[in-house]
Amino acid sequence: MRKKEMLKRRYAKWGYIFVIPFIIAFLFFHFWPLGKTIILAFTDLRGVGNTDWRFLPSIDKPWYANFTSILQTKMFKKAFVNTFVFWIAETVPEWIFAFWLAAIMTDRRFNIKGKFLFRTVYFLPRLISAMTMGTAFLAVMGLTLPKFLETLFTIIALDGFGIETDDLSFLWNSPFWIVLVNTYMHFGFTFIYAYAGITSVPTEVFEAAEIDGATRTQTFFRVTLPCMRPIVLYIAVMSILDGLGMWEISSAIGGDHDAQNANTTIMMFIRNQAFDGGFYGRASAMSVLLLIIYGVVSAFAFYLLRDKDEAELKKLRRKQRREEKRKLEVKV
């Protein structure tokens, strides 16, 4: 028995050794920049190429001055609203289509051939640079197609059908293409993980539901989704990270150099503050606010997708431990 324990410890140390490079890289490339950004959020660092900074209280300014100046900016409010509008408009159709398609691809009763090819094609846009994809859509779809449709609608006199050209103006507006390209780019990621989550559910569960007479819709909402809750939570968190941090597609299609751009997102606003305006302190404060937004939205997603039965079970166990501890104290 002792030899087995020694052998386990001997092998366990290699796990810690292999993790060391990751820890070093994380501390150097992630933790240190994050810590420095938080520090700079309370300084007056300003000016392109400037490295001299002072803490705000030392120059007779409140420590939260950068945060208040950001929150009072109209462009921040516009960027905040744009980000959430783009994110929700992208996520809803993306999730519906991805989960629906994953349920079809994994349904034994359909027996679809060539699933590997479909998975590869769906995930391929995720491997392409977002800036490249946005530029391509801007050049091909964002400019050529709208003009073609506008000319076509004018030629066939759509007003005779009760539709005017202005009713379809969204087809040549940049917000429509920003949402469309983002959905196209991230659909494959959601589909792959939804597919993996469904295939991880034991087939016996689906067979039992089928024997009980459950329809495909009932099976999906009452069996599949509850069984793949951890995967859904992971997809939700990744969707939050991608959605709130979007800037490549918006920058390529909506334009990034104008600080008053109607399509500016939070990340684009941070970039404009730092690299165009030179307000590094304010940009750092905005980054801290974005980090807080990430935490709040992720916590809300975790609360909605948590396993309620497991949470109740944990509460019951804590209550039992407290009662046992109380009984022991009474006996003593």
Concatenated DSSP letters for 219-260? HIIIIIHHHTHHHHHHHHHHHHHHHHT--HHIIIII-SS-TT
pLDDT in tens, 243-298: 888 877 777 776 554 445 678 888 888 888 888 778 888 889 999 999 999 999 98
Q: Which fold has domain 75-278?
A: MetI-like fold (1.10.3720)
Alpha helices in the chain (DSSP H): 2-26, 32-40, 65-71, 74-106, 115-127, 130-136, 145-155, 174-199, 203-211, 216-219, 225-227, 229-244, 248-249, 266-271, 280-305, 308-331
Give the span between the Cα atoms of 204 and 199, in whole angstroms: 12
pTM of the model: 0.76
Work out the burial of residue 44: count CB atoms within 10 Å of its CB; fewer than 13 is exposed, 13-18 middle, 19 or more buried: buried
Q: Are 273 and 286 a contacting pair, CB within 8 Å?
A: yes
6-22 mean pLDDT? 74
What are the tens digits of pLDDT across the range 133-162? 656 665 555 556 556 666 666 655 555 555
Query: And the tokens for 247?
Result: 């800037």
More confident: 127 or 97: 97
CA distance 114 to 22: 37
pLDDT at position 163 over 70: no
Q: What residues are paired with 55 via a beta bridge?
A: 43
Q: Which pLDDT score, from 0 to 100, does residue 132 have? A: 61
What mean pLDDT comes out for the span 161-175? 65
Domain ranges of the chain: 75-278
Highest-pLDDT range among 4-13, 55-64, 101-110, 113-122 = 55-64
- pLDDT digits 0-9 by tens, 59-110: 888 888 889 988 888 888 888 898 999 999 989 999 998 898 888 888 777 7
Q: What percent of the chain has pLDDT over 70?
A: 77
pLDDT at residue 288, as a whole number: 92
Helix axes 229-244, 280-305, angle to 10 degrees: 160
Distance CA 45, CA 42 (A): 9
Write down the pLDDT at residue 140: 57
Quote the percentage of the chain above a pLDDT of 90.
5
Greater model confidence, 152 or 190 = 190
**DSSP, res 55:** B
Answer yes or no: are the C-beta atoms of 46 and 278 closer than 8 Å.
yes
The token duo for 309 is 């039965």
Contact between residue 177 and residue 143 where contact means Cβ atoms under 8 Å apart: no
Q: Which residues contact 276 (CB under 8 A, 6 or more apart)?
A: 257, 259
